[in-house]
Chains A and B, each alone.
Chain A
Amino acid sequence: MKHLLGLSDVSAAEIRQILDLTAEMKTLIKRDNKKDSRLIGKSVVNLFYENSTRTRLSFELAGKYLGADVANIAASSSSVSKGESLIDTVKTIDAMRADVIVMRHQNSGAAKIVSENVAASVINAGDGMNEHPTQALLDMFTILESKGRIEGLKVAIVGDIAHSRVARSNIYGLTKMGASVSLAAPATLIPTGIEKLAQLPGSCAVYTDVEEALVGADVVMGLRIQRERLKAALFPSLGEYAKCFGINDGRLRLAKPDAILLHPAPMNRGVEITTSVADGAQSLIESQVTNGVAVRMAVLEMLAG
């Protein structure tokens, strides 16, 4: 693999390979001395055009744990603010002999443009509403760790599907691994034809009634609801959203008794998810964060090792 731009163009075998390597990385970061030497002499540049706390830090620590040199660029404090184009910016980074460029950008397809203009490997850390492949990989790793398998599981994804790159990457990845996906949101937050992203026809279903989607689920994943969607007339209020679509204790009970709860964070407590669910026994939200570092170590190792 040269780049990781999205799970739409990664095979099930490659996903398995990444998840296997993630398990190895996880044992490494559980050690007292987390420093490894396999990426010594390699350079990783985090180029973030959007704000990020956990993804950027997760990539930074992943690179450092493996011994790589990691540099961070925030677009707001770079030449981008002087009007430099994306292609010129990444060519500059490339000319400094970066081995890996980790990029987050507000426009869908941006990571692909970058990959076509640099010699370095490119990891998409989120491009517009397109994909966020390492988030889906860490979600799948968390599921695998807890359930022992992905194939045959029912995963319900609830929230702003329309604007979510996490949803898209998970639909591609989970259906490739043999899971079925149920999407639930108000009709205004479900984009046309989203079910057709599934690897197998019929393995992704759309619901406008959240409770129907949750029945019998093995995994429940909440997605962030942004306040700015109110201005676009997509739903009337955060309160009404919480009442009709939020994940609460009663709704979680519709899933299987041993269902696990995931959320990519940051969360809006009291909107898409209640605090009692987020902090409850079924929640693996903190494990997701730990697994995120391990997944990114695995991906860096695969591309640059």
Chain B
Amino acid sequence: MSILIKNGRVIDPANGIDEVSDILIEGSTIKEVGKSLSAAAAQIIDASGLVVMPGLVDMHVHLRDPGQEHKEDIVTGTRAAVCGGVTSVVCMPNTSPVVDNKTVVEYIINKAAREGYCNVFPAGTITRGLAGGELAPIAGLKAAGAVAISDDGMPVKNSNVMRRAMEYAKNFDMLMICHSEDLELVNGGVMNEGEISTRLGLRGNPTVAESIAVARDCALAEYTGARVHITHISCAESVEVIRAAKTRGVNVTADTAPHYFSLTDAAVLGWNTNAKMNPPLRTADDVAAIIEGLRDGTIDAIATDHAPHHIDEKNVEFDLAMNGIIGLETSLSLGLTHLVRTGKLTLPQLVEKMSANPSRILGINRGTLAVGAAADVAIVDIEAKRMVDVANFKSKSKNSPFDGAELFGEVRNTIVAGKIVV
């Protein structure tokens, strides 16, 4: 089985390519890239006027499987991913049971291989049971196939535990993904602390709760030399802390989520629970700083923090609503609309932050269209305008603040390991 993609604008940031070209896929890998390719018996996709990019790599996704399948599962979550042009996801370990042992890692990998639509790379926990105390079996998790460790959502409070976890993870060259937040400073806050939280009578979560923890985790990364990645940074101060750390040569990388460059805390007005997530939406100044961080390379990657929740968990008092929004089916469009069309990033830069860079950080050998690479490809009409309608989402959950938004970009085809899945 071979596929020939003709006349598309091929963007492969890993190899500095941005030109109209053809791509020949044979089996599960890319066979040839060049002009005027032809192949016998190939299925031909005419990509004239379309962009052909590496399948996107989303390094922060909650698939909720095992244990919370009323929100999402591996099948629906990966189906949502490929509809958004995403061909590889890292799934976070706060499932039920949590991913703190090799059995759960194997369950995820096996189910994804059997029933999933895209590549699934599990993250294990840093500590057993996400409890912040004893270390999880990091070497065992890695041997079973976990690509990173993270206590996402339950940041490790004890700095000594964090230090030892980094030292031990470094021993096995395991990437640590940090949800950096000082929970004492969060102090029950349910949205960004500022004028809007005051207006709504909601407890505020100040930016310093995030940046102080980012500073700690950068300092520990510097001290231990471990590979540390700070996820979903949301505020100006965090960008500044990471910029300074990188300037000193600390081995730290970072991502932000599409909502942190497309929305402000004004989206919460009316107690909109679909604008409730952690970290919270910030102010326009923070949005500008996040975009600047993306521009100057302080922020390496864009990841969704796709966090599905059932409507019963969102259609409640704001204080009681679960944190998080879904993102897989809107991330590329939000990048195109708010970063590329506004001239903040070039298209190759956006693609790089959504494929090559996360792939490099994770060490998973994806995110490129080089000859011999896995044939994970997204074919996108970047000029198409669409109205987001959550009713059409493949995700089991519908908790998106972008319902009804007009965005650019439509995924025409997604190919995973040489198979057309969209």
Contact = CB atoms under 8 A, between A and B. Distances in A.
A160 interface: no
A122 to B, nearest CB: 14
B271 A109 contact: yes
Contact of B271 (A86, A112, A196): A112
Main secondary structure of the interface of A (DSSP, over half): mixed
Given A87-B315, A109-B271, A110-B317, A131 B198 contact: no
A108 B202 contact: yes
B140 to A, nearest CB: 39
A129 B202 contact: yes
Contacts of B319: 107-108, 128
B225 interface: no
A128 B198 CA distance: 12
Nearest to B317: A107
B320 interface: yes
Contacts of A129: 201-203
Given A108-B201, A112-B270, A131-B201, A193 B318 contact: no
Interface in A195-239: 196-197, 232
Interface string A251-283: 000000000000000000000000000000000
Q: Of residues B187, B195, B312, which shows the largest number of chain A Cβ atoms within 10 Å of its Cβ?
A: B195
B248 interface: no
A194 interface: yes
B309 to A, nearest CB: 15
Contacts of A130: 200-201
A166 B160 CA distance: 45
A183 to B, nearest CB: 12
Contacts of A110: 317
A105 interface: yes
Interface size class of A (residues with CB under 8 A): 20 to 34
Contacts, number: 63
Contact of B204 (A86, A87, A192, A197): A192
Interface size class of B (residues with CB under 8 A): 20 to 34
A81 to B, nearest CB: 16
Interface in A59-97: 85-87
Interface in A96-153: 105, 107-110, 112-113, 127-131
Contact of A168 (B194, B201, B318): B201
B197 interface: yes
Contacts of B201: 108-109, 127-131, 165, 168
A86 B321 CA distance: 12
A113 B316 CA distance: 8
Q: Of residues A105, A110, A165, which shows the largest number of chain B Cβ atoms within 10 Å of its Cβ?
A: A110
Given A127-B201, A128-B201, A192 B270 contact: no
A86 B320 CA distance: 11
Nearest to A49: B317
Q: Of residues B197, B198, B202, which shows the largest number of chain A Cβ atoms within 10 Å of its Cβ?
A: B198
Interface in B142-197: 187, 193-195, 197
Interface in A4-21: 8
Contacts of A193: 194-195, 198-199
B199 to A, nearest CB: 6
Nearest to A113: B317
Contacts of A196: 195, 198-199
A138 B229 CA distance: 55
Contacts of B195: 192-193, 196
B99 to A, nearest CB: 30
Contact of A192 (B193, B200, B318): B193
B317 A191 contact: no
A265 B264 CA distance: 37
Nearest to B315: A87
Nearest to A172: B199
Given A107-B319, A109-B317, A110-B317, A197 B271 contact: no
Contacts of A232: 187
A114 to B, nearest CB: 10
A204 B82 CA distance: 52
Contacts of A105: 317
A194 B202 CA distance: 12
B271 A108 contact: yes
Nearest to A114: B317
Contacts of B271: 108-109, 112-113
Contacts of A85: 312, 316
A191 B204 contact: yes
A232 B318 CA distance: 22
Given A109-B271, A109-B317, A197-B198, 8 more contacts: A108-B200, A108-B271, A108-B318, A108-B319, A129-B201, A192-B193, A196-B198, A196-B199
11 contacts: A105-B317, A108-B200, A108-B202, A108-B271, A109-B200, A109-B317, A112-B270, A127-B201, A191-B197, A193-B199, A196-B199
Interface of B: 187, 193-195, 197-204, 270-271, 312, 315-320
Interface of A: 8, 85-87, 105, 107-110, 112-113, 127-131, 165, 168, 191-194, 196-197, 232
